[in-house]
Amino acid sequence: LDDHVRKIIPSEWIILYLDKLFQEVVIEWLISTNQSIQAIDYLSFRNMIEIVSCATKGVIVLNHKTTHAEIISIFKRQMSHLKEHLNASNLFLTI
């Protein structure tokens, strides 16, 4: 049995979906983060909900350190693409 039994260390939380719970959590999120009530109408919020609604066994919520690292990574990629674009644009402007 020792070869088959191993300790599983959860790295993220898994939350099951219920309509009532979702409504409560959205309201709690609006209040606790001081969001405008119109935030629930934002396209990015709606897109997030559409994607999550496809989950059949819950969703993985990343911790803040992982999310922070991903945001920084996205920012650096965007800056790199912008630099490449601006450098390429300068080639066409030189006569």
Segment 59-73 mean pLDDT: 92
For residue 13, what are the β-bridge partners? 61
What pLDDT, in 10s, does the model give residues 12-22? 666 666 889 88
Given pLDDT bands bounded at 50, 70 and 90, which one contains residue 80?
Answer: very high
Segment 75-91 mean pLDDT: 87
Whole-angstrom distance, CA of residue 31 vs CA of residue 28 = 5
Query: Which ranges of 6-94 would DSSP assign to H, the alpha helix?
Result: 19-32, 43-52, 64-93
Q: What pLDDT is recorded for position 23?
A: 92
- Delimit the domains of the chain by residue range: 10-61, 63-95
Q: Residue 24 has which token pair? A: 């409560």
In angstroms, how far is CA 63 from the centroid of its own chain? 10
